[in-house]
Amino acid sequence: MSVPFIQEGLIPSDLLHSLRIKAWDRFQEVGLPSRKNESFKYVPLAKIYAHEFSLIDNYSLDKKSFSSFLLEGHDHLVFVNGALRLDLSSFSPDLEIVSLDQAMNSFAMFLQNRLTKSLKEDTDPFSLLNFIFHKQGAFLFLPSGVSPEKPLQIVNLTVGLEPGPFVSMPRIQGVIGKGSSLNITITSHHIGEYAHHWSIPVVDIVQEENSHLKVVDIIQEPVENWYFGSCHYYLKKNASLKTVDLGSGTKVARRDYQITLEEPYANAKAYGLNYLTQKSQSHTHVLMKHLAESCTSSQLFKTILDDEAVSSFEGKIYVHSKAQKTESYQLNKNLILNEKAKAHSKPNLEIFADDVKASHGATIGQLSREDLFYMQSRGVTLQEAKKLCVQGFLTEILEEVDVLALKKSYPVI
């Protein structure tokens, strides 16, 4: 195993240093995973550990170099090789966005308490590594009763101008104030000749009472890249969350979701869609935690696998004994287009309350011969019939994406 950037001596010295040390101590307890860990059972960790990834410095860029990546009608928050670049960003004055280091002055007590608690509970080693080594994270604060007119696009840029694999760790800590609403679109892009890269982003957001948040995350890294992302959401009373993840093409992608419904009447919906070809892989781990009564949640994750692609899904619905009147549903569907492709699914429930409506399920199957035959009998070619069936499989989730350009860019459309 050779991951040279994981050294205590490389931990940045800044206002977050004491918290970074706590994260380091927690990481020492958790350790780097192996395939013996259930949630990493199908992830090719040995191939990743075999590379000598290094932390990379920021680069000087102007907006012209990435203007084609910016979505119209959006505010923009830009990261370059994992570091926040406010000089390249533009956003509504309704949003207060500063570096995480600077936020330790303005929001010191909140961040100290929140981060200490979350670091203590975090079981994802890569999320911990992000906190330890991220260069310059962002703190996003939306005051109470505010709903910005434009959605916010978070642009994660990697610049590979030198050979050799490198790692980037963008981080966003956020608070959505009481009664506020925000739509976020996250996109990833690469600039430069060298694309051998490992991205370890983290999004960690607290939603206050009656707040509403929608996050659409587009994961389209170059085929040489690895992507290990973590999403942590904490919902207060009557808060609502919707997340939609679209993935395709990445060599190995892993997503870890930890969604916690902390107070009554919170609602969370999580959607995921992956289209995998060649030898690409996607691995999803979800923990939906119901800690309070009268909360609802749903999960729908779909994967289309062609060639020699591999996927895995491990999802858990956890219902605390205090979380009576919970409603929670989970479904994982996999469509196999080639007999060499492999899909693994493990949905499960852990329920400690009596008054609960919950279900989970998984399907792994191929295109229906009956449907294909029917369409061919109506004059549709076999290739077009297959395409129509695939599009029908993914439409349910693509309908949750509001930006038409993003829908049209999805590989199967």
Can you give the pLDDT at residue 268?
A: 99
- For range 278-300, the mean pLDDT: 97
Tell me: the pLDDT tens digits for 25-53?
A: 999 999 999 988 989 999 999 888 888 88
| Model confidence band, residue 413 (pLDDT cutoffs 50, 70, 90) | low
Can you give the pLDDT at residue 402?
A: 86
| H/E stretch holding 270 | strand 267-276
Beta pairing, strands 83-84 & 75-80: antiparallel
What average pLDDT does the chain have?
92
Whether the per-residue pLDDT at 209 is higher than 60: the answer is: yes
Can you give the pLDDT at residue 163?
A: 75
Task: Say whether 30 sits in a helix, a strand or coil.
Answer: helix
Can you give the pLDDT at residue 1?
A: 41
Can you give the pLDDT at residue 193?
A: 77
Question: Higher-confidence residue: 191 or 216?
Answer: 216
Phi, psi of 186 (to 5 degrees): -110, 125
DSSP assignment, residue 133? H
- C-alpha angle with apex 305: 47 to 316, nearest 5 degrees? 75
Handedness of CA 105, 110, 111, 117 (dihedral sign): positive
Question: Higher-confidence residue: 249 or 275?
Answer: 275
Whether the per-residue pLDDT at 249 is higher than 60: the answer is: yes
- For range 169-174, the mean pLDDT: 97
DSSP 92-122: -TTSEEEEHHHHHHHSHHHHHHHHHHHHHH-
pTM score, two decimals?
A: 0.95
Q: Are 330 and 296 in contact (CB under 8 A)?
A: no
Whether the per-residue pLDDT at 17 is higher than 90: the answer is: yes
| Model confidence band, residue 4 (pLDDT cutoffs 50, 70, 90) | low
Instruction: Write the CA distances from 393 to 376, 388, 398, integer angstroms.
Output: 18, 9, 10
For the chain, the domains span: 8-409
For 149, other C-beta atoms within 10 Å of its C-beta total 8
Least confident of 103-107, 216-220, 323-327: 216-220
Q: Which among 179, 167, 71 is positioned nearest to 405, based on CA atoms?
A: 71
Q: Which among 311, 285, 312, 309 is positioned nearest to 299, based on CA atoms?
A: 285
DSSP 335-387: EESSTT-EEEEEEEEEE--SSEEEEEEEEEEE--HHHHHHHHHTT--HHHHHH
Can you give the pLDDT at residue 393?
A: 93
Phi, psi of 333 (to 5 degrees): -120, 135
Whether the per-residue pLDDT at 202 is higher than 50: the answer is: yes
Distance, CA of 339 to CA of 252 (rounded, Å)? 20
Tell me: the pLDDT tens digits for 95-135?
A: 999 999 999 999 999 999 999 999 999 999 999 999 999 99
Q: Are 251 and 219 in contact (CB under 8 A)?
A: no
Can you give the pLDDT at residue 26?
A: 96
Least confident of 155-159, 217-221, 225-229, 358-362: 217-221
